[in-house]
Structure 1
Amino acid sequence: MKAFFEGIQWLFETIFFALHDFLRQLELTHWFAANIINWGFMIICSVAIVYWCKQLKLHKDEGQEDQDTTAHSFLK
């Protein structure tokens, strides 16, 4: 039974966390390169938020947005 759990340990430490170990070692020498995935997510989220805000303003300017508090039947 001990060999089974050691096999699971080897699988996770060697195979599944190989990218994490690489990024951990890379962080010691190149911080920006180690965080490139985070920078990418921040850029994608920033673009999405700007797009969403522009669409909200567009719908508000066209008067398509229903601001009535009784717009839904459960709010009556």
Structure 2
Amino acid sequence: MKDFFYAIQDLFVNVLFKPLDALRALELENWFAASIISWIFVVICLVALVYWMLQLKKFNDNNEEDKTVSSHSFL
């Protein structure tokens, strides 16, 4: 049973967290490159948020949602 937990530890430490270790090492060598990677992730999240808000606005403009008080019993 102990080997099972060591296998889980090995999976996370040596496989799944390898990109984070590489990013940490990159930050020590070149701070700007590590920051650019972070900003790319921020831009991807921002684009996803804008797309989500536009989709919500489209459904709201089509009046597809039932907004009556009786639609939910807790209201």
Within 2, Cα distance between the matches of 1:61 and 1:18? 45
Find the structure with the greater CA-based Rg.
1
Supply the AA of the counterpart residue of 1:61: D
1:42-61 equivalences under 5 Å are: 42-61=42-61
Q: Give me the CA root mean square deviation.
A: 2.9
Q: Provide TM-score, normalisation by structure 2.
A: 0.56
Q: Provide TM-score, normalisation by structure 1.
A: 0.56
Within 2, Cα distance between the matches of 1:19 and 1:58? 38
Tell me if structure 2 keeps the 8 A contact 1:69–1:75.
no
Q: Which residue of 2 aligns with 1:4?
A: none
Q: Which residue of 2 aligns with 1:65?
A: 65
Within 1, Cα distance between the matches of 2:18 and 2:52? 36
Within 2, Cα distance between the matches of 1:50 and 1:61? 16
Pair 1:39-2:39 in alignment: yes
Structure 2 residue runs of 5 or longer lacking an equivalent are 1-9
Structure 1 residue runs of 5 or longer lacking an equivalent are 1-10
Q: Which residue of 1 aligns with 2:25?
A: 25
